[in-house]
Amino acid sequence: MDKGLNDMKKPVRRVVIAGGGTAGWMAAACISKVLGKQLDIRLVESDEIGTVGVGEATIPTLLNFHNLLEINEQEFMAETKATFKLGISFENWRDVNQDYIHSFGLTGTDHWTAGFQHFWHKGRERGLASDYGDYCLELRASQQNKFAHLPHNGMNYAYHLDASAYARYLRKFSERFGVQRIEGKIVDVTTSALTGQIRSITLDSGVDIEGDLFIDCTGFRALLIGQALKVAYQDWSQWLFNDSAAALQTASVGDAVPLTRSIAHPFGWQWRIPLQHRVGNGIVFSSRHVEQDQALAALMGNIAGEPLMKPRVIKFTPGQRTQVWKGNCVAVGLSSGFLEPIESTSIHLIQRSIIRLMQMFPTDGIVQADVDEFNAQSSHEVEHIRDFIILHYKVNNRVEPYWQAARDMQVPASLQHRIDLFRETGRVFRVPNELFAENSWIQVMLGQGIMPLRHHQTADLMGDAELSHFLGAIKGQIDKTVAGLPAHQAYVERYCGVPK
């Protein structure tokens, strides 16, 4: 009898990570740190295969991942030439020359019956409130290019980092906990004829590598989950038009700002990510709305600093796998699906997959109930992020065909409900375990041009004098704190600067 019949019940002792890059080495780092003494962990990657390299901006959840691994922040930032990030500047998204910032952290002070946006809305009606962002510390600090660590984690932040250097850093970390790196290209995947589970992968050297659990970090190629196991892919291009990107690095020409810049074009958008030693640039576009040469020309015409490489074009299909865990294979990173990096969620989704796997790790054998729960949680999480990204396109006032089509498209009912709810009542909600909190939805919906028609009646209980004092006290404290912060560039140089 084929021994594969017992594969599901077999204890997991040999873990094979197919592919390196950010996804592979994050998986290796976490699994080896926690279970390295109980497992044989091997990572296969080829120096000849480059990484996509667009995941260079992060969100604050990465700090949690690093805390779990007990990574020293200064060491990590020095190794990856990292800078701090307080949010994303969306330029020309609502319309040309209309900009806003989606910042980290909270805005104002909520009441238990109603969020701060209701009091702000009342203040705007009465001429007592300034811009919504004036009541958010992280946003005001980012506007003035300031940063510092504050007591009691008083400043929410993330990082801009060199993705290739991050993978190298995590490789060194992982190897300390016993991970074995194997150089080679994967040329074949052997599965059991009876169970369909993966038995081994074959390298171009002819070596077969057997394992009990395989983690597919082979990027868009999805050699294991897609090609070998034939897991279908859900295409979301009816809502997300962009299918191409081009990445480019340039020399730094000024101080690094604590913001990722997202600059809208008539056919897509462009990013700028400032590191200590260079700037990451790129353009994301729809090949249905612009020729590739025109998109590349727009990118090259909107950079600052000398190009350090030729633009590298990446083709993609937005969407996700119908299953990210099948049999004894778990897809992590681009092999599991792709959402454009407009909200810097790529690395977050990698770490969520890894942490979820650790919580359900099949030490004593794979349990189908765990697999089903893993897939359900993964699907719901990505769909919430998908809706948040679609929001940026659906709500706009631009006149180009690309933007008009986005404005006119029918969006998922889950998103349309959120838009209608905020427009009608000013209310937002957060689904359990959803990534983006209420303040993120508020900042983007206001920034894209949705002003609520009404506010909660609790705000009406305040008279003008009381409301003015309430709003002024919040803004005054933020202004005072920001005034005392050092410049971001100077702080980075002191804290984790790399000698030039």
What pLDDT shows up at residue 2? Answer: 42
pLDDT at 48 over 80: no
Three-state secondary-structure class, residue 242: coil
Strand pairing class (14-18; 40-45) = parallel
Q: Any alpha helices (H) in 2-51, and if so which ranges?
A: 21-35
Q: Give the pLDDT confidence score for residue 246 in this predicted structure.
A: 95
What value does the mean pLDDT take over residues 9-24? Answer: 94
Query: Which DSSP letter does residue 414 get?
Result: H
Give tens-digit pLDDT for 276-334.
999 999 999 999 999 999 999 999 999 999 999 999 999 999 999 999 999 999 999 99
Q: Is 367 helix (H, G, I), strand (E, B) or coil?
A: coil
pLDDT band at residue 432 using 50, 70 and 90 as cut-offs: confident
Q: What angle do CA 237, 267, 395 make, to 5 degrees?
A: 70
* Residues known to be catalytic: 85
CA distance 106 to 466: 22
191-248 pLDDT, tens digit per residue, is 998 889 999 999 999 999 999 999 999 999 999 999 999 999 999 999 999 999 999 9
Please tell me the predicted confidence (pLDDT) of residue 1.
37
Question: Going along 24-140, which residue ranges are E strands?
Answer: 40-45, 83-85, 87-95, 98-103
In order of start, what are the domains of the chain with their CATH numbers? 3-56+162-234+318-366 (3.50.50.60), 88-136+244-315+394-500 (3.50.50.60)
Task: Say whether pLDDT at 90 is over 50.
Answer: yes
Handedness of CA 395, 124, 140, 113 (dihedral sign): negative
What are the tokens at 429? 């909600």
Q: What is the pLDDT of residues 444-489, one digit of tens each?
A: 999 999 999 999 999 999 999 999 999 999 999 999 999 999 999 9
The pLDDT of residue 177 is above 70:
yes
Going by pLDDT thresholds of 50, 70 and 90, the confidence category of residue 50 is low
Which is it for strands 260-265 and 279-285: parallel, antiparallel or unpaired? unpaired
For residue 230, what pLDDT is reported?
97
Q: What percent of the chain has pLDDT over 90?
A: 93
pLDDT at 347: 95
Report whether pLDDT(433) > 70: yes
Predicted local confidence at residue 47, as pLDDT: 82
> By the 8 A CB rule, do 487 and 145 touch?
yes
pLDDT by residue (tens digit) across 383-428?
999 999 999 999 999 999 999 999 999 999 999 999 999 999 999 9
Summarize the confidence of residues 258-272 as an average pLDDT: 97
pLDDT at 3: 47
How far is C-alpha 381 from the chain's CA centre? 12
The token pair that represents 461 in the structure block: 């209980």
- pTM of the shown model: 0.95
What was the pLDDT predicted at 10? Answer: 87
Average pLDDT on 353-371 reads: 96
* The token pair that represents 333 in the structure block: 């990173």
> Mean pLDDT over all residues of the chain?
95
**How far is Cα 427 from Cα 253, in angstroms, rounded to an integer?**
43
Half-sphere exposure of 353 (CA within 13 A, CB side): 31
| pLDDT per position as a tens digit, 108-158 | 999 999 999 999 999 999 999 999 999 999 999 999 999 999 999 999 999
Q: How far is CA 104 from the centre of its chain?
A: 13
> Which pLDDT does position 4 carry in this prediction?
44
